[in-house]
Amino acid sequence: MNKQNLHLWLLAAAIPLVAWLPLPDFWIVQLNYVGLYALVCLGLVLLTGVGGLTSFGQAAFVGIGAYTTAWLTLNLDLSPWLTLWIGLGLTAVSALIVGAITLRMSGHYLPLATIAWGLSLYYLMGNLDALGKYDGLQGLKSLSIGSLDIGQGRLFFVLTWAILLAGAVALLNLLDSRPGRAIRSLKTGSQMAEAMGINTFRYKVTIFVIAALFASVAGWLMAHFQRTVNPSAFGLKMGIEYLFMTVVGGVGHVWGALVGAGLIKLLDDYLQVALPALIGTSGSYEVIVFGIAMVLVLKYMPDGLWSLVTDLLPRTSRPVDWQDAADLPARHKPAPGDSVLSVRAVRKQFGGLLAVNDISFDIHAGQIVGLIGPNGAGKSTTFNLITGVIDKTSGEVLFCGESIGNLPSRAIARKGMARTFQHVKMIPDMTVLENVALGAYMRGRMGVLSAMLRSNRAEERRMMKEAQRQLERIGMGEYLHEQAGNLAMGPQRLMEIARALCCDPALLLLDEPAAGLRHKEKQGLAQVLRQLQGEGMSILLVEHDMDLVMDVCDHLVVMEFGTLLTQGTPAEIQASPAVRAAYLGTEH
Ligand code: ADP
Ligand code: MG
């Protein structure tokens, strides 16, 4: 049992303890509400804090859970233990539909869409006769097991908080896993994740559904606790409040959901009494205070209150328990000298601009080929055409003898092309090891459910072992547990190479790996590239630094104004008057 587990067991033990403390009933009721709200906030931590998708509409999913059980238990006399699952099913279906429509939206459109969705469900609930219109449905049963009423007071507290704790543990497990790392990569934009073979849209929908399911369970509990449901608890105002609780607590932290829900619930009750007394007239003044507080928190403490606690806690690094893990499955690689990449008359037109004009070149297994040329020559565009980031206007790319057509980058990555980025793309708050393990994503299979239930540990150990092996392979062994965001530029770029190697690629594509490096770091990079070449790796190197290119490449392809100027060995290129002219015209 590691330290993390110990904390969780202590928390689990604390729940029945609190329930039997001689607390006034009022406080138990308060804690019950805190637990219910925190459950919704847990979903928001995953969706908004980790995944970067802001939703104002979570209250609507609480409503689906609540109304489903209310209607079914009242009208069909079904058991609440059955209606819970029906509610979850309905929630999942609605979240899938709403998610599929809205999650492709970018920027501010998604939050706006969730507002629209929250509003429309509110008015739907308020206008349906079957749901009792704005009066809602009354007279629900309390939850019970046999003849034991667990729907009120202390037993309900134990039930709610046990579910909450289980949810929190499931989320913590999820975040520390193969799908969890994919989810954590969503905020960095989709390009990097897709290049690691991750279907980012599917993960967005997945976390949208998970967050909705957390909300739905809270709605089910709430309905039977209050014995009545009405639309006001599930409207936009509550949706905003859930988001507010999560942000105040710490939107990126699982325990922040609990802190935020607790603080806001208690503050809410206090202000609702204190403010009207202070001002002299009645009214929902607390909303104004919350509005101002939210702005202040967002400005001065964007990580929320829980970050104050995490700053105090010592950073614990993952215990190394994977030394004896089996190796991950490896790809069949082309034999030395076989064709790895064949670029044939590839062309890209941006409107009137011909960025890449019928470029052709070849890479054979074990070769390092450099793609060079002055700024704006079309190198990055060629790189993006090969990796599937953008579609070709015409031409063909054969990878290991097979045409890759206009496949998306994710599918090309799966075929064995791994890349790095001109501007380093990483997850700054993950360790170097975890960032590199993201590269092994395609070589694993374990999904969200096995991650939550922690039945993925054997595969996790294999992935961590592979990540460590790749880091050690390029001399980054002492950085395993560093936070990636704290690294200097040189180690960051090497980390990206390790991540790409973790994909077990047949071809490694590096986009300006020496950009921003100091002299010493460049020498280190050249050393790594020579070593990889010695190990038989095939590499396409887009690079500005002539010394590096001349030093490590077997073959050079020179571009100018989108066209192929010439190609040959470094010595031939250095002797070429055309190349000299091209470079003298624009650089040095
Ligand atoms: P390099 O990487 O060699 O510096 P690029 O491939 O980035 O050059 O750019 C080649 C040309 O294509 C440039 O003139 C650039 O302005 C243009 N270009 C690149 N991307 C786009 C785009 N998405 N839309 C329009 N023009 C583009
Ligand atoms: Mg470029």
The string of pLDDT tens digits covering residues 325-335 is 999 988 888 98
Let me know whether 99 and 124 are in one domain: yes
Whether pLDDT at 114 is above 50: yes
In a domain, 12, yes or no: no
Whether pLDDT at 309 is above 70: yes
In a domain, 329, yes or no: no
Q: How many angstroms separate the CA atoms of 183 and 51, rounded?
A: 6
Let me know whether 531 and 411 are in one domain: yes
Q: How many angstroms separate the CA atoms of 450 and 456, rounded?
A: 6
The atom number, within ligand 1, closest to the CA of 559 reads: 3
Let me know whether 510 and 497 are in one domain: no
Q: Which residues in 487-515 are b (16+ Cβ under 10 Å) and which e?
A: beebbbbbbbbbbbbbbbbbbbbbbbbbe
The atom number, within ligand 1, closest to the CA of 374 reads: 3
The atom number, within ligand 1, closest to the CA of 383 reads: 6
Let me know whether 348 and 437 are in one domain: no
In a domain, 285, yes or no: no
For 342, phi and psi rounded to 5 degrees? Answer: -130, 110
Q: How many angstroms separate the CA atoms of 348 and 389, rounded?
A: 12
Its sign, for the CA torsion 395, 397, 398, 403, is negative
Whether pLDDT at 510 is above 80: yes
| CA angle at 430 for the pair 491 and 516, rounded to the nearest 5° | 25
Whether pLDDT at 32 is above 60: yes
Give the Cβ contact number of residue 391 at 10 Å. Answer: 12
Least confident of 118-122, 436-440, 538-542: 118-122
In the block, tokens 């449905």 appear at 137
Let me know whether 391 and 466 are in one domain: no
Q: What is the pLDDT of residues 436-447, one digit of tens each?
A: 999 999 999 999
Least confident of 13-17, 170-174, 279-283, 456-460: 279-283
Let me know whether 42 and 186 are in one domain: yes
Whether pLDDT at 316 is above 80: no
* Mean per-residue pLDDT, 526-552: 92
Let me know whether 482 and 528 are in one domain: no
* Mean per-residue pLDDT, 566-586: 83
Structure tokens at 445: 């299979």
* Single-letter amino acid, residue 546: M
How many angstroms is it from 368 CA to the middle of ligand 1? 24
Cβ pair 411, 196 in contact under 8 A: no
Cβ pair 489, 516 in contact under 8 A: yes
| Last residue in a domain, options 207, 234, 261 | 234
Q: How many angstroms separate the CA atoms of 459 and 178, rounded?
A: 9
Q: How many angstroms separate the CA atoms of 573 and 550, rounded?
A: 9
In a domain, 239, yes or no: no
**pLDDT (0 to 100) of residue 152:** 87
At 3, is the pLDDT very low, low, confident or very high (cuts 50, 70, 90)? low
How many angstroms is it from 377 CA to the middle of ligand 1? 8
Task: State the residue range of the domain holding 387.
Answer: 334-416+505-588
Q: Which residues lie closer than 8 Å to 249 by C-beta, 6 or more apart?
A: 41, 255, 256, 257, 258, 259, 260, 261, 263, 304, 305, 306
Let me know whether 152 and 47 are in one domain: yes
The residue whose CA is least distant from atom 18 of ligand 1 is 355
Q: Count of domains in the chain?
A: 3
Nearest bound ligand to the CA of residue 377: 1
At 488, is the pLDDT very low, low, confident or very high (cuts 50, 70, 90)? very high
How many angstroms is it from 562 CA to the middle of ligand 1? 9
Whether pLDDT at 321 is above 90: no
**pLDDT (0 to 100) of residue 110:** 86
Nearest to 508 by CA among 523, 498, 516: 498
Let me know whether 221 and 147 are in one domain: yes
| Last residue in a domain, options 218, 234, 250 | 234
The atom number, within ligand 1, closest to the CA of 382 reads: 6
Cβ pair 180, 451 in contact under 8 A: yes
pTM of structure: 0.92
DSSP 95-127: HHHHHHHHTT--TTHHHHHHHHHHHHHHHHHHH
Let me know whether 528 and 500 are in one domain: no
| Last residue in a domain, options 170, 205, 234 | 234
Let me know whether 187 and 43 are in one domain: yes
The atom number, within ligand 1, closest to the CA of 373 reads: 3
In this structure, the residues whose C-beta lies within 6 A of any atom of ligand 1 are 350, 353, 355, 373, 375-381
Rg value, the chain, Cα:
28
236-249 and 254-279 helices, crossing angle to 10°: 120
Let me know whether 526 and 464 are in one domain: no
Q: How many angstroms separate the CA atoms of 183 and 250, rounded?
A: 18
Cβ pair 331, 500 in contact under 8 A: no
Structure tokens at 325: 């893990």
Whether pLDDT at 83 is above 50: yes
In a domain, 391, yes or no: yes
Pocket test for ligand 1, best of 191, 347, 348, 350 (most atoms within 8 A of CB): 350
In a domain, 277, yes or no: no
How many angstroms is it from 375 CA to the middle of ligand 2? 7
Structure tokens at 200: 């980012």
In a domain, 354, yes or no: yes
In a domain, 528, yes or no: yes
The residue whose CA is least distant from atom 10 of ligand 1 is 378
Q: What is the pLDDT of residues 125-174, one digit of tens each?
A: 999 988 988 899 999 999 999 888 898 889 999 999 999 999 999 999 99
CB neighbour class for 296 (10 Å; exposed up to 12, middle 13-18, buried from 19): exposed
